[in-house]
Every structure is written in C-alpha cells, then in structure tokens.
Structure 1
Amino acid sequence: MTLLANTRALFGFGSGDVWTMFHSEAFDFSVWEMWGALAHGGRLVLVDYFTARSPEAFLELLRHERVTVLNQTPTAFYQLAEADRLAGGAALSLRYVIFGGEALDFGQLTRWYARRGTSSPDLVNMYGITETTVHVSHLPLDRVLVRQRSASVIGRALPGLRVYVLDQRLHPVPPGVVGELYVSGDQVSRGYLGRFGLTSARFIPDLAVSGARMYRSGDLGRWNDSGQLEYLGRNDLQVQVKGYRIELGEVEAALLSGVGVSQSAVVARRDRLVGYVVPESGATISPAALLEYVSQRLAPHMVPAVVTVLEGLPLTVNGKLDRNALPEPDFGRQATVSRGPASATENILASLFAEVLGLEEVGVDDSFFTLGGDSIMSIQLVTRARSAGVLITPREVFERKTVAALSETAGTAGNRVVVDELPGGGVGEIELTPIVEWMLDRGGDFRRYSQSVLLSVPATLDEVTLTLAMQAVLDHHDILRAGIRATHHPESARRMDVAPVGTVRAETVVRHGSLGVLPRRRSRQNSTQLWGGSTRRQV
C-alpha cells in the first residue's frame, strides 16, 4: 500500500483503467500489475502463457480488451513494438506504458516515437527491486529525452524513498562517477526470512537517517548533470576478459546502433565476448560488416569475437533476457569457402590461423577476428609465424586481418637482420616502465602494490624442482630482477635497477607454507623489490 500511495500523484490511476497481468506471479512486477488495478477499482486482464509469448497475439489482446495501463520489461516491449510496426500501428487505448525489470535502451524508443509521435500512450521508465517493493524511481519519457540520452536514465526516487550512489567505502560519489545504488525509505523490506547472514549483508544502517536501514542493490549507477539517476547495469554484468573489465551494456549499445539491428545481447564465453543480434523485419545483417562497424566505435578489447544472428532473443518466464539460453557460438561456421593458398607464405599463415583459432581450416579471405581472434591470440599468431619463418607484426594482423592480405606484406626470416644483445644488456639502471610510472604518480607507499596468481601444479612437484624452475625464469627475464629504491630524495625514488643474472636467488622467493597460513614477507625500510616473495609461493 505504501508503493501505491507513493505513486498515486504521479499517474492518476482510476476505476476506468484496464491493466494486464502479463508477468508471472513469481515476478515482483506482477504485484504492481495486480494491486495497481484492484486498489484503484480498475479491471485486470490475465494474460495466458501462450499469448504472453506471442507479440502478435498480445498486441491483439491489447486492442480487444482496450487496455490502458501496460507494464513491460524492455526486452518484451521491443518485440511488441516490432509487431506493432508490422501491423501498421493501429490505434490502441493505452494511456501508459511502464518499463521495469531491466535496463531500458533509449535507442529502441526512437523508432517508436518516429512511428507514433508523442501522442498517447505516455512512456515511463521505472527502476525497482523486489526488496524495495517493486519500484524505486520514476521518469516520464519523451522524444527529446530518448534522443539526447544514451544511458538508461531512471529519473529520481519516488516520494518517500531515498537513493544513494556510494563507492566501496560507502562514501557518496560526485555526479558522473559510477557507484552502487542504495535505497532507503518506507518501501524497504525488513530482510530475508530465516537468512540472517544475507540480511545483514544487504540491509545496512542508513547513512543519513538514524535508526533506518538502506538496501544494497548490487546495481551500478551515477547521477547525471540533470540531477537524475542513470542505471548502468548489475555488478554481475561487468565481466573480465583477458584482464579487461568490460560493461556488457556498452558493447550491446554499439551493436544495436548498427544498421538493421533491432535487438542485441552480449555474453562472455571462454574468455571471449560473443554478440547476438536480431535483425529488423526484412533486414539482412552481415556479422563481418557489423563487427567492422563496432570496431570503429569500441576499444579493441570490447569488440566481440563473433556475432551470431538470431530470429529472436530468448526470454525468461518473467520476460527478461535469458542469457543462459543464448546458443554457443560456432566459430567454424564463420569460415568461408574460398580459393586455396596460392603461395608458401599463404599456406603457412592459413595453417597458423586454424591452429591458433582451434579450427580445422580457414579461407584465405577470412578475417582473423571474425573467426574468433582477439588481441592476445594475434600475439600468439605473430610468435608462431616467426618460428615458421614468416615475419608479421600484431599491428599488421589488426589492419590486414586475412591470410591473403598479410601474405602481401609478410617478410621472411632470411631477410631479417638479428642484432646480438650487447654484453650486460638489460642490467643496471633502466627507464621506469609505464605501470611503475603510474604507481609512483599515485603517491604514498608503493610497497602496498602487489600481484598474485594461483596455479595448479602436478602433485609430484617438489620444492627443489620448483626452485630450479623459478631460478631459470628469474635469470631469463631481466625485469623480474628489477627493483625500486624508495628514499627521501625525489630523483632517486624514480629509478629502477636491474640486478645481474644469478644475483636474485630463487631460494629467497619460493616459500613453502600451509594453505591459508602463509609467512609474512619482511619489508625493507627504505626500499622494495619487484621480485618480492609475496607473489611466488609454493603452497
């Protein structure tokens, strides 16, 4: 009842309204649909399972029942809007279309406004969470707003609620900075029944109101320059691929901006980004052309390895995108039938393309990246090509992409001049690497920076063998013997020294400790070494 009281003045619902109960009763959106109709004396139309999954049948139901209030997840509405376009945009009785349940892509609505104008129905974007009683914010939409804004703007908090955007230390972030959304107010529930641990982790004391609690949503957002909230997706929709943290929504937006694309989705599979698109009615999408298009708009690590064209995106019973039901990509199907290699260089490169990409064969005109390649794999290709006597660079792989194009500029090992390293090369004072420059520029004690990795090793590995292996690695890679000296003198603090081969002993960096109880590394008062034992321990 608090939710309905908080939203009464925003909508003016009445006894003449007809609502649909489109969503499953297990989905919190249905609470709003059912009680929104009944509490205002309106009529509620129950939508059966099969009608809810047929945009054409549901569109006909809206007309026949003269529905005035429609609640939809964005994914479900995109399909309904396409059905409406194909049906010619016949008149509807709708007063409101209310979005909720997932991020709204404003780009999709520009097509709706272009076809139907700004007349009824009013489109409203509402953000909400089950734990805060369905809805939290409210934003009336119009043609100008959806054209100017690229992010999913969700407006301001409903009357009676407070929304905070906080960093990991629960400090408010300034406008434009991404943080996690926290909600406080009378709509916030008391917690999870019988789950005290989860309740205490999610429902925490309100920062501004003594004795009140706020809910930690797990959603990312920020305040824009208009004082409104922008929803940026779930924490779990940020993925890490090959060391890069990527927001899937950014990649999906780039795909959606392509010609002929009506819907898009992106997932991470086996350390690669995979894109899925649904074409507009009558449109034909070339995955290769679409990848080329988005590569001009995204950083290289954000470009999907492959794009798959689908007839429609799979939905959950609640009408949301079902990412788990998206099909596995078949990179082999991206390979085309073309002429065979015409030279020894093409033959070597074609074999290496297939080997690096894990395919049986590739065409000489197939793009390395359309077949699933990425920046890391391009380095593997360059290394293996060099071993086979073919000289190419990572930049050439990105620019030329195909076997045929690379073979035109590839050199051979016989033409390469190899300069032997000078005696003592790589030892002594060297320039700071970019990451060390960044670390020092941040100020403070740089000894707090470290990197760690957990490796699985054979059960038969003993400490002697591990120590010998570590010694070989330390002797071979000069940078692992580099150290930074921290003194009170600014000039000397910004220098690195590389110790000679053999001076850093593996016995000093390999530690043997029981799981969970590792020995603490002793720190030096005025210096730190990049080869510290904190990153190399046998456990």
Structure 2
Amino acid sequence: MEHSHASLTDVKRWSGIEGDLFDTLLVYQSVEDSHASVAIDDFVEMSSVSDGKGSTEFSVEMVVEPSEFVLTVTAFFNNSRISRWQASSILLEFEHSLCQAVDALSCDCSSEVLWCLRPFEVEIIEDSSSGSVVPLPFELLHHEFEQRATRHPDYRAIEFEDKALSYGELNAQANALAWDLAALGVCVGSCVAVIMERCLEFPVGLLAVLKVGGTMLPLDADFPPSRLLYMLRDSNACAVVTTETCRNRIEILKTGLPVVFLPPTKVLMAGQVFQPKKEHLATRHNEAYIVYTSGSTGQPKGVPVLHVGAVNVVQGASATAIGYVEGARVYQFLAIGFDGFQFDLWKTLSHGATLVLRSPNGFDAMKTVDVMLCTPTALGQLGDPTQYPNLKVVCVGGESCPLPLVKVWSRHVKLLNLYGPSECAIVTHFGQLHPDKPVTIGKPIDNVSCYILDAKLRRVPVGVAGEMYLGGMCVSRGYINLPAQSKHAFIQDPISGNGLMYRTGDVGRLLLNGDFEILGRRDSQVKLKGYRVELDEVAEAIMRFDEVAMATAVVKEKTHLVAYFAPATVDLSALKDFVAGYLPDYMIPATWVGLDTLPMNCNGKIDKKALQGMDIAVEIDALVSDLEVQLAAVWASVLGISMQVIGRDTSFFALGGDSLSAVKTVSACRKLGFNLTVAQLVKAKTVSRTASLMARNVATKYPSAALSRHVVTSDIIAQLGFHDATVYPVTPLQAVMLQETVENREAYLLQMVLAMPQDMDDQALFDAVKRVVQHNEILRTSFVAVDSTFYQVIRSTVDDLSFMSVGHTTLEVFLRADRKVGCTPGDRNFVRFAIVRDDACQRHAVLSIHHALYDGWSLSMVTSDILNAYATKSVAMRPQFRAVVDYIEATKQECRAFWTSYLRGAPLSLQTTWPSDLDTPVEHSNTGVATSRSLRLSATELTETATGAGIALSTLLQFAWATTLQNYTKRAYVTFALTLANRSIPVQNVDRMMGPLINDVPCRVEFTNPDDSLQTSLDKFQSEHSALLSHAFASLDEIKAWSGVEATLCDSLFMFQNFAPEPSYNKLEFHPIVADHGTSNIGGAVHTYAFTLVVEPTATGALEVHGTFDPTKLTATQTHIVLRDLDDTLSRFHAVLRTNRRH
C-alpha cells in the first residue's frame, strides 16, 4: 500500500515489461461499518457499444459491493475477448473460491488442502473425461483383417497408381514373407524394420512382421542415412525388409542385419506356407509397432505401441462415424514413416475398405475416393472441395484446424477433427467440425481417459486451461532407452488409480458440452504442417557441425523454422549440407541467421524471445536469370511467402513445401509454358537446379497453321454465314471420318443422354451447353469440302446453336429421328442439343456430337464441363485444339521421313490369314458385327506383369495381339493398325484439351530372331513403338504413298481405351447411346478393317475385349477363336514373365 500511487505507465517502464501488465481488474467498493455476509448474486452485465466491445478495456472487470446483508458482484466483460458463458463461469468460480477460503480459515487449514471443484463441474468432468469401457473384439492388430481376407478374398485391399492387391493377395503375400522372416528367427519380441518408399509392398512387409509376432518398425527410405541408422540401432532391430529399388540405400547403411528384398510380386512357393509356432503367438500386451517422434535430446524418440492400444483405436474410433466402412475408398495421404499411416492402413483393412496410396506425381486419385485423413495445412492447399465429388468424409489432425478452413470444407463433406499423440496409439479423440461452432477435438474414444490438470496434478474447472493428460489402454510403456524422459512423461494415473497416464505437453480445456479444446503447447515441441518438431533436436543437429559454437531454432509466423547460429563466419553452404544429412526435409530450417553471438537471458540460456523479436535481414544468393525469377515467383505464390526469402540455392521443402504444393507448383510452371514433373522438382529441390531442368524442357511454340479464308469459296462463306471465321486444315483422322460422313450422314454421330432430375432447369442447362461451346473452339467448328479437300472452319460465336425441346412417346423415337438427321460437311453445327419429354413425363437431355470434334479422352471433358457450368455458372478454361493442328503441320516433313523409313522392306501383302472355320460366311453386310470376351487375367494382374517386365500394360497387350497375328500368318513381319491417344505430344496442356487427337497408324512388329526371349522381344518392341508416338499424325493413305507400299497396310485395328472420367456436378452423367451397328462411336474409324479390337478395363477390375468384324471376311466363330487365342497368348506371357522374375 505504501507504493500504490504510481501510474501503470510508470510501472511498465520501470519493470521493462512491453506487453499488458494484466487483463483483469478487481474493484472492492467498501461501505464503512458494513456487516455484510458472504452471498453473491450471479449478475452479468454487458455494455452495448457500436464497435461491439464492452465498456471495459480489460477482459473481465469484477466490481464487489457489500451491502447490509450481501455482497453484490458485478462482472463487466469485453465481448471481443470472452463470451457471456465464460464471464458467468468466472463469477461462479469466484463465489466457490471465496467460500473455500472462508472454510479454510474457519478450520485453521490451508486453502490448498480444502480446494475442490464445484459439484456441478465434478459431474461434467466425470461424464466427459472417459470414453465407454468396452471389451476388445480382437486380440491383435491384424486379426480382423485376416478374418476379412478369409471371408472376402476378392475385395480390393490396396491400390497404388495402376496396381492393386486384393485382401486375399495381400494375405497370401504376407504369409509368404512371414515364412522368410520366421526362417531368420523373427518371433515375439523381435523388431523388424520395414524400409521402403510408398508402394504396394510396404503393407505386405508390415503385415508379415505381425504374423510372426514381431514388432513393426515402419521407416521411410527417403530419411537421411544417419537417421535411419540411429533408429535401427536404438530399436534393436533384428532384420530389415525392403525392396530392390531401395537396395543401394540399405547397403550403404552397413548395418550387418539380415535383409529381405521383397520383389514387386511376392510369389507363394510350395512348401513356404507360414504356420505360426508358439514363439510367433503374440498377446495384446506385446508391441505392435514402434514409431519415432522428434526428441529434445537431439535424437528422435522411439515410442513402442502395444497391440491393445492399436486395436482399441482401430475399433474404438467409430468406423461408421469416420467413414472407414466396407467398400469405401480411403485415400492414404500422410507420410508412411509416421503413425498416421498405421491408422489409415489398419483402420481400412479392418473394416473391408480399400486403401488408395498417394502417388508421388499427383493427386488425381483423390477424385475417386470417399475418405481422407490429412493435416489442415494440406487440406488448405487442395482448393475447391467441389473438385472431389466422391469425397464424403475428411479427417484432419496433426495440428490446429483454422475456422475459415472448417467453413469451406464442412459444407461439402463430413469434416472430423482427430487428436492423439504417438505415445497414445495415434487417436484418442475425435469430433465433427461445424462452420458455426468452435474448433474442438471432440470427446475421448472408448477405453481412453483425458484429464485437464494443473501443475499439482489436480483437475481444473470446466473452461479453465491446464495441461492435458491421457490414460487408459492407449498409453505406451515409455520411450526406448530414455528412462529419464519416460519417467517425466509417463506417470502413475492418480485419477483412476490404475496404470500410467501420459503428459502430452498440450494446453487444453474442457468445454461445457463435454468437448475438449487444444489451446497450444507448453514446451519446445511445435507442429509445422502436421509434423511434430522438437526445436532442440534441430538445434542439436546444427551444433554437431564443428565450426558452430551456439545454435537454436525458433518458429517464425507459425509457418517456418528459423535457425540462429554463432559465429557468423560459419560456412553456411557447408552447414546446410551437413544438417541435411541428419534431419528430414520438414525439419530443415527455411531461414538461416548467423550472429557473432546469440543473446542470453538472466539464467544464462539463449534468449529465444529476443531472437523472435529480431528483424531478420538475411543475405541470400541472388537469382541470376529471368527463369529463376519466374520460378521463385511461382514458389512464393504457391507457398504464400515473400520472394525476398527465396535465393537460387533455397530448398523448396525448407520453405515449407510438401508433395501437395509440389503438384501445384508443377501445374503453375506448365501454365507458364515449362514442362516439369513432380519427381524432377522433388529431386532438384533448389531454385537453380529446378530452373535448369525447366530451361531444358521449355515447351515448343509452333507456327500457326491457319489458312487464308480464300481457300473456302465466298459462296460457302455467305451460305453458312461464317464471315468472321478462321480456317484450318483437318487432321488425318478427321478427313477419314468426314469422307464417310459424306456417304452416310449417320456415320460418327454420337448421342449422349442425361436423365434429368426433376429440379433441373431446361433453359439453364441449355445456357450451360452454349457457354461450354462458346469457350471451346473445337465445339464451334464446322467442316466444308472444296475440291475434295476438307477444311475446318472455326466460328467466333455460336448464336445459332441448335436447341429443341420436344415431346415423343419414347426417347428411342427421337434418337432414331435425330440420327437420321446426322451431320455432313456444309452443316452449320456439328454439335446440337435437345430436351426430350417422353410419355412417362421423364425429361432427357440429348447432346448429339460428331466424332470429328472429340475423342474418348476428351468426351468426359465436354459433358462434365456442361454439368459443372450448369452448377457453378463458370466454365473451365481449356487450351484450344488449333495448337494440335499447328503441331501436325509443323512436323509433317519429319513425319513423312519417319514413315518412309519405318515401312521400308515391308512385304507386298500384309493381309492376315485368319483361323479356319467350318461355318458358312455371312452374306455381305455394311454393318459390322460385334463380339466380346472377358480376359482370364485381371487388369491388376496384367499390370503387375507388365510393370515387372519394365513396360506399360498397353505395350504388353499390343505385343500379345501382334504375336496372335503372327501365329496365323507365320511371317517374319506383322503389321496392324494402332489407335494412339496422342496425349503425350509436346503441346502445352494437351492432357486438358478437347478435340479428336486420336489417330490410327500402322504398327510393324518384327519376328526375325526366334532365339530372342520374351523379355528381349518386349524391350525391342517398346523401343520401336515409342518412335511412333512422335509421328502419329498421318493418314493411312499418306503413309502408303510415302512408303511406296501398294498392298493394304493392315486389316486389323487395335485400341486400348483407359479414360479417366472428369468429375461432374452432383455425380450426374451423360451416357452414350450404342448405335445399331454395335459401336458407340467413341473409338476410331472401324469401317476399313476386317477386325477391330478394343480392350478396356471395367469397374470390377477385369479386362474386357470387344471385337467388331467384317462379316464378308470373318465368321462369328472365327472371331471367337481369335479372342480366345489372344487370351491364351496373354496367359502365356504372364506365366513366362512371372517365372523370369522368380529366378
């Protein structure tokens, strides 16, 4: 009281405190000679001011006024800082604490001894702190998967890129590997490291370790060698499972451990069926896996997780609520070396779902999945949720989820927040997030307890912050080889009196509704992009460098790491390279600051607060070229950082980049005209190295192939009203199609039908069609013929786009009439639109489009763009088809030279002698006859076979067809027509382009050396086949003329169709109508061939073969024999190549 006359300004200045001294105020307004008793009115009053803040500058201002009989307490609060409920709770706690203090004084006890919670709060805390106590349905983590593999072996378990494993295949391959591990002596108590990149073999290795009773140690092969070696030694691993692709990385570790190299397809050999013995039978109290987290000692900490905890989280976090249900497709997004992968894997496999592993080169698979778990940082980079129409449930975890992100995503998917440290088996809480509610982690799962305690391990009131502790089945036994840290983090549970509880280091609170909320961290551990980073571990790695005397790491702007080191004379380039050998990319600082000495606080420790307050002036290596500046601008835009922190030797990942932002960066570079892949960016890392790749891969610009409008007569221009049109040559396949269209108006007309929902608006749908046509030149294109030469005429507008709204007894009646109208050169429109109402009052939208405007690849672009334009009123911007015509015309001379050489020496007759048949040939017909067959081997099996041989699936199928034909002809050369998609030509963004890029070219296969192995023949064929891709735009007539071949070039056509559909509004789809002749006009020209073969994968994973034949040249029986022989050929290839890999 003697020093109470100083102003707060003076107190702050004298004490050196820059921030607020306090944010609460207590005012006691005493009345002389008052004899008031202790009774408190719960009265909360809020001032209403125009700016929305209360009348007090403090968070809470408590005014206590005694009267004759009572104490009246009024709380004024600033509603921009706390809520009315919080202010009410503070009043109640004040009353309770005052009563406790009076009781303590009356019995001469300390208030600490008598401190307790209000009964109302005790009830809420007891009800909210623990999940239900339930028995576990399975003893071990993999048991439910094994049961499902027995019941449903054909269910798809794992997908990666174009490969997959069924439940039965995964189980069988893991059993085969388990036999190998058992032979090495692996049993209960053994730790086996599974070190791989993301691949199908990774789950096989993990499952096999569990089958022999061992402990899984999943490690990412991309970790620095020193980190891998530390983990192997610290965990006392007894063996390593890896793949051939990682052989070099494993061998340089020189561990001395036995290594099992798992081939792409582990073959279950006779006599190798694993039968567990007593030493392989683990219990729920044995370790299931070990995961390493960032450690404060400078090394990562190993956390063993028991089966009981792992099984509980797989079963306890409701699979139905989270979306991991039978038949669901789950996108595996998180890093494979972290425990989030274990959650995805076992949660998926235990509930009959399919785990889709993230591809390193993109995220297209996200458009086909139902469920995904990722960090909020990653989710924020995915863009518009409507891009992922199948996504139903998104789980986020690993870091705080911003409310703006919740508002965007929770309106489109079920958005769940998952929480749980590695030390407690991955997930301990989950709850759904809503746009109008606070972001919380929900409630504890079954058999898990959660306590909010103070420094003396006492429960704190509801709404009050404290440290979060976790108990129950989930808790690990402690860290590996770290007794002191284990003793600090894993303590006896004083609440339940049973077992251990884990000190999380998270500051949180319990809310009135029973949900828990995370407020931050209390130690040096932080989370960046979902990764736990111990700042002391980063500092320790820097300190290992001989020249560094002092070092520390801090987080700037909650987005990136900054390293401070002394002295400033340290060679920064050498220091960065050194640290990169100890830490993974996500732990490497983005900014490095060298000082003569680091500031110290009064305790002699590095003053991190002083460092965080420093304005950093970092010297970076200047960008030296315009290309580096462009690339840095892209990085800055994608990562949301300033270009000023990007130098030519700056790492993309040190700036906070990850696989998602890498995809966005590559996309942005391609828009600038540079060809760059994710793999190249990941390998190059720095601006300078990436820019050098971009310089070599710069996209080629081709001269315009536009023709003078005078090539088209003025009469035609006037007749069609194309006064402002642009004239271009047609492509070779367009010319073939148009020639047949002249003879038959119905040829190559495709009708796409949409069953319209009741709430779909006719005019709005037509407007969407019109906008899409207006935005894409190819859809505004018509065709004319002048002196037997076809031209495509691109109009600037489509004001006269045909639109009909008609009524018919059935849809089929309209389709037949529309097909007769057809198209022919000279028509104003080669695309038209109608809405048909049938007698059942069903509306059908019919899009009629000529094949000269599309191919199978782009057809879904047309229909999905229409439906998305209807929903969003915006149209996707796509590159224009004229760029392909420019490319064709610019490379015509190269194309001519190639084909002249390619067919040199071809035999005079290239016609096929088809297998004999006793049937009588069918009478002459202009209509092809179709037949189909499902291949014995699935798409997955043949894809694995092709991958094992180092070729594409399409290459394997094409060579099988060539071999089948050679068996008929017995000639040294076989030639057949091949339809190429041409989506890899060097034209910018050609993969997003509408238009008919496909073309049929002759494919010549040589069988002159009978001593060549199948693998040698395939390698040779793929090498020769790749040359076709650069010269694929020539008509068969041109090729015949250039090569001098007078005979028919080929009498069979082979097509492999594997189109990825584009997502569309509300999952609506246009469906093609199959014409009377049995083809939907999605493929290429079929009229000139004796036999046309189309191979395409089905939704069930099978490969379907469709054959269309000329009945004047083959019979139905002959075509069945041909398809059977092709099937046999592929089966032989599969057997031979699989045997080769075994040996």
Please, what TM-score do these two structures have when normalized by structure 1?
Answer: 0.42
